[in-house]
Structure 1
Amino acid sequence: MPRPSRHAPDTTSRAAHWSDRAACRAEEDRSIFFPEDFPRAEVPLVATQARAVCQRCPVIEACLEEALARPEWSGVWGGLDKDQRKALRRREQKRRRRDARKQGGADVAEAAAGTS
């Protein structure tokens, strides 16, 4: 079978991605999802407009999940702006540390109980 040229157009279809159903795709002005690019006085209003689009989005959870996993450091993703995502990351890190300490304490207690 001949090998396709690396210069040939990509004609293979790709699997559907969650972002194909995102509400922001239908927005004429996608710049509202990056409010920090606007003058400082307009940032809160623009961010509110972007979050309103996110609230009606069928894939808001997947969007936020991907923004946290990447991480995205700017823009509105999954209905949260960069500061809100930063706070969410901090809370999640604190929860993980607290859970790890609890788990570590439980392991020590189990080990002590097993050696008695």
Structure 2
Amino acid sequence: MTEISRLPGPVMELWEWQYQGSCRDEDDTLFFHPEGERGSTRRRRAEAAKAICHSCPVMLQCREQSLRVREPYGVWGGLSEDERSAILAGGARKTG
């Protein structure tokens, strides 16, 4: 008989929070900058994405996950790529 006790268990509860994300019904291009986007255009797009994040019921879970996995691209949990990099470089976690 096959030994299954060492196999990973269900993980749905680890990710179920994502179904509550305010971003689920939004265009994902709002959260990820296109190649070559710079300056005020990039800043406005990121601010619009962050506005959605700030009204999201799972913003903190999203933020913590993005910091935990060192997400390199996009706006996650109300933080841009640069903001996450700064937090990780400083060893601190922004939570509010």
TM-score category (smaller protein): 0.7 to 0.9
Larger % of helix: which?
Answer: 1
CA distance in 2, matches of 1:83, 1:47: 11
Gaps of 5+ in 1: 1-13, 94-116
Structure having the higher Rg: 1
CA distance in 1, matches of 2:53, 2:74: 12
Larger RCO of the pair (alpha carbons < 8 Å, separation 6+)? 2
List aligned pairs for 1:11-90, cutoff 5 A: 14-15=12-13, 17-27=16-26, 29-37=27-35, 39-41=37-39, 42-90=41-89
Normalising by structure 1, we get a TM-score of 0.62
Superposition deviation, residue 64 in structure 1: 0.6
* Identity across matched positions, percent: 35
Gaps of 5+ in 2: 1-11
User: Could you say if the C-alpha distance between residues 19 and 37 of structure 1 is closer, same or farther in structure 2, counting changes exceeding 3 Å?
Assistant: farther
Count of equivalent residues? 79
